[in-house]
Amino acid sequence: MCLPKRNRHESGKTMLDTKKIRKDFKILNRKIWAGKTLVYFDNAATTQKPQVVIDSLVNYYENYNANIHRGVHKLAEEATEAYEKVREKVRDFVGATKNDEVIFTRNTTESINLLAYSLGESLEEGDEVLISEMEHHSNIIPWYLLRDRKKITVKFIPITKNYELDYSALEKLINKKTKIISITHKSNVLGTVNDIKRIAQIAKNNGSILIIDAAQSVPHMKVDFQDLGCDFLVFSSHKMCGPTGVGVLVGKKELLEKMPPFLGGGEMIRKVTFEGFTPNDVPWKFEAGTPNIADVIAFGTAIDYIESLGIENIYKYECGLTEYCLSKLKQFDFLKIYNSSGTGIVTFSNPLVHPHDIATIVDQYGVAIRAGHHCAQPLMKRLNVSATARASFYFYNTKEEIDLFIEALKKAFDYFKVGACKKLNPVGG
């Protein structure tokens, strides 16, 4: 599907034509509560879908719906070609070297579970896995399950008072028992972008496997699998304008070939006898059963859409939105803001008003934000709060929407009669 370039050049700078872009997202015109137009600031949870992605889904079901890989009829061949072409698009988008290195799963969570299960088979009692205090539950629970199954140890790399990874602590924690380091590229709470190349060098020097949860980074910034130096990279379609139900696992082929299958069934086998089976080649070795064909194909359309805008343009634009939002939030001197150098995510709390109450009231003004522990309860404990409120942006958001968000926050704080109050202690305080 051909998509037009949406960039324009002004004063030597590349910008996004946001007004034109927003026309591609019909939901952004929806009226919420008494005629208030939707302001969607929950993009870290999931992003909205442009019409071309929705049309791609419909086109598949209306014109060439068929199962893939096994059929020799025309519909099956068309569906297979469209599906496998997306593997190539993913390869190029994140800088993998081969199509074989791209595996489709249901989501980032399943990708990490696949790795924890399959890589975990080679671990022994006493081995260690390192993760960080800023991890999403999806990058914690699979390792706890492996710990309980294999009697390994899971250790946490702490964060600093500036909400960044403590690299000196990492170097002290890592040792010859550290077989796997699994860490987020960008925190879904703090917005912190970790120095993966630095971590990769530490892991390589120690002989550890490095897994990167890139669910929050791939949709918003240039990510190059080879340049980062990690062994595995995982992310999701729905956080980058694609459908739900599609995840990606990118891994070095030599490691994937050594790993045992995660699930058993159709497509992941080469041969089955009464005595046993021979697994298929990668990537199909890890794609058992009928895949999510339509949504994978539509994910390819989402990649095309993002590339038509330019991932670097998206990143720069979101930097501007984040800076603007942070500058506006300074008027609320009773807020604790949890943000370091990250972009696209602004998280905050107030000791007198629960984040759920804030989110409920701003919703009455059409503003959708996230409130809770954001699937990061250990991080909440580290921050000494039970929950926070989070606004997260994407390329279709605007400064005008941030102004509406700030006005809605004023209404919320006026309702609870929140004035200046003692600020929360910093991390560890």
Q: Which residues are catalytic?
A: 375
* C-beta of residue 128 within 8 angstroms of C-beta of residue 176: no
If you compute the radius of gyration of the chain from its CA atoms, what whole number of angstroms results?
A: 22
Neighbouring-strand partners of residue 181: 130, 210
Dihedrals phi, psi of 67, to nearest 5 degrees: -75, 155
Tokens 């060098």: give the residue: 201
* Angle at which helices 74-94 and 293-309 cross, to 10°: 40
Neighbours of 331 (CB within 10 A): 10
Tell me the two tokens of residue 242. Answer: 């694609």
Please state whether beta strands 336-338 and 178-184 pair in parallel, antiparallel, or not at all (unpaired). unpaired
d(CA 389, CA 329) in angstroms, rounded, equals 13
